[in-house]
């Protein structure tokens, strides 16, 4: 065709239409674009371009009139000329007035360009090898394909961030509710647990509706402050004292692991030329006792205790109770149980000793009873413990996340 019109037939012209007409006269990308892929990407980013789902339905029908799969080549090959009746039939009987309204929106946004004939009719004529067509030009789908793909990726990334943030808020709410229930049982003298429970209930109610990113970030900040306060209220030393009675203090500790170096008699160097190792008076006294006689529990400093309450460990880990002869009320009781479990779980004495040396006996015991909860999921208990020991050796390990993960799994 010798001339390409820029004004529609008997319709007003505005700046947007002239802009899209000028853009449509630019050269097409040589590779073209798959029309169905272009529609999928545009459907994902339709909100960013101001398109509704019914706008997309009309555009999909227009694209369906193009015989090829790849949109490309010269402009005449990208012009479709269906009648209004044919378009409405493929739209499952959509009223013609509704169809024209959505079609006008596609033209205004610039994904369809009108190529009207002198009398406004849509048709195609062949003059030898030349083809002249009047109708709807689909070339903007090809020219704007890269722009559409980038917008679709941005929309998908925003949806993924929203999904992750919503999941994070949901998990934080659940943890706050669980810590409030646990704190109410351990520290009933404090009056903050009802407030934490109320926050969790209100957040659960808010999550039932559609929240925007700003609201979710605000809720995440509130939950983070509440969780930090709840953890500060649950003090390890205070929690242990709450669960300890006078009768418990009178109980003795019996060493069931003869290979453990933590509770063996200590040796010191004696002065002299040979610097021979001789037992201390307390060690001599211990060696004179009968092997079946109980030993006093060792003195465990607060600085060696794990950064998680003993009561929380007992609440999250229950499998080890099968192997206990008496209830676990002190950290040294848990270490004794871990000494019993260690050979049953296939953990070598050297791996156990390394874990106690780098983690401390109490934290190593927490790791062992936590591993027992997921024993069927761990292929090699000894190798798993050694990997955690290596992290603890460089200060990159804490048993707290393991216990909290078990609590979240039980609450799910």
**137 contacts 20 by C-beta, under 8 angstroms:** no
pLDDT in the model for residue 2: 65
Exposure string over 276-299, b if 16+ CB within 10 A, otherwise e: eeeeeeeeeebeeeeeeeeeebee
Question: What angle is formed at CA 315 by the lines to CA 178 and CA 255, rounded to 5 degrees?
Answer: 155
Q: Pseudo-torsion of CA 14, 17, 21, 24, nearest 10°? A: 160
Rounded Cα–Cα distance for residues 87 and 102 (Å): 12
**317 contacts 373 by C-beta, under 8 angstroms:** yes
pLDDT in the model for residue 275: 38
Size of the chain, expressed as the number of residues it contains: 412
Per-residue pLDDT of the chain (412 residues; tens, 9 = 90+): 567 777 777 777 777 777 777 676 667 787 888 999 999 999 999 999 999 999 999 999 999 999 888 887 554 578 899 999 999 999 999 999 999 999 999 999 999 999 888 888 888 888 777 778 889 999 899 999 999 999 999 999 999 999 999 999 999 999 999 999 988 888 888 888 999 999 999 999 999 988 999 999 999 999 999 999 888 888 544 434 433 333 443 333 344 443 333 333 333 333 333 333 333 333 333 433 343 333 333 443 444 577 788 888 888 888 888 888 788 888 888 988 898 888 888 898 888 999 998 888 999 999 999 999 888 888 888 889 998 999 888 888 888 888 888 888 877 6
Helices (H), 45-144: 46-49, 53-64, 84-90, 96-109, 139-143
Q: What six digits make up the tokens of 239?
A: 């929690």
- Helix 381-393 and helix 349-359, axial crossing angle in degrees, nearest 10: 30
The pTM assigned to this predicted structure is: 0.51
Q: Look up residue 7 and give its DSSP letter.
A: S
């Amino acid at each position: 065709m010798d001339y390409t019109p820029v004004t529609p037939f008997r319709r007003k012209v505005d700046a947007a239409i002239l802009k899209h007409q000028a853009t449509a006269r630019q050269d097409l990308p040589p590779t073209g674009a798959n029309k169905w892929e272009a529609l999928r990407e545009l459907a994902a980013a339709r909100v960013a371009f101001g398109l509704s789902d019914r706008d997309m339905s009309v555009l999909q029908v227009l694209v369906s009139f193009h015989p090829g799969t790849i949109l490309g080549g010269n402009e005449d090959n990208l012009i479709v000329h269906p009648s209004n009746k044919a378009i409405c039939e493929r739209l499952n009987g959509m009223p013609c007035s509704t169809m024209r309204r959505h079609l006008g929106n596609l033209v205004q946004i610039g994904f369809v360009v009108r190529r009207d004939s002198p009398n406004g009719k849509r048709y195609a004529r062949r003059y030898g090898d030349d083809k002249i067509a009047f109708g709807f030009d689909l070339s903007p789908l090809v020219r704007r394909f890269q722009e559409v793909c980038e917008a679709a990726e941005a929309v998908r990334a925003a949806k993924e961030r929203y999904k992750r943030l919503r999941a994070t808020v949901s998990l934080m709410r659940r943890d706050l509710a669980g810590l409030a229930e646990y704190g109410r049982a351990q520290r009933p003298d404090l009056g903050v647990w009802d407030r934490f429970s109320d926050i969790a209930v209100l957040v659960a109610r808010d999550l039932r509706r559609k929240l925007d990113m700003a609201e979710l970030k605000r809720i995440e900040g509130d939950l983070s402050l509440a969780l930090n306060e709840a953890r500060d209220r649950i003090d390890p030393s205070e929690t242990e004292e709450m669960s300890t009675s006078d009768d418990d203090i009178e109980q003795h500790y019996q060493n069931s692991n003869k290979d453990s170096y933590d509770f063996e008699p200590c040796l010191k160097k004696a002065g002299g030329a040979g610097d021979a190792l001789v037992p201390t008076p307390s060690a001599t006294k211990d060696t004179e006792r009968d092997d079946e006689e109980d030993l006093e529990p060792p003195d465990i400093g607060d600085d060696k205790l794990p950064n998680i309450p003993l009561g929380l460990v007992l609440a999250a880990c229950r499998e080890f109770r099968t192997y206990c002869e008496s209830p676990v009320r002190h950290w040294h009781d848990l270490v004794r149980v871990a000494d019993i479990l260690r050979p049953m779980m296939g953990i070598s004495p050297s791996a156990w000793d390394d874990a106690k040396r780098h983690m401390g006996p109490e934290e190593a015991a927490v790791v062992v009873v936590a591993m027992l909860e997921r024993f069927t999921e761990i292929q090699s208990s000894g190798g798993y413990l050694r990997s955690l020991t290596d992290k603890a050796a460089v200060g990159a390990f804490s048993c707290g996340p393991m216990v909290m993960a078990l609590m979240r799994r039980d609450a799910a």
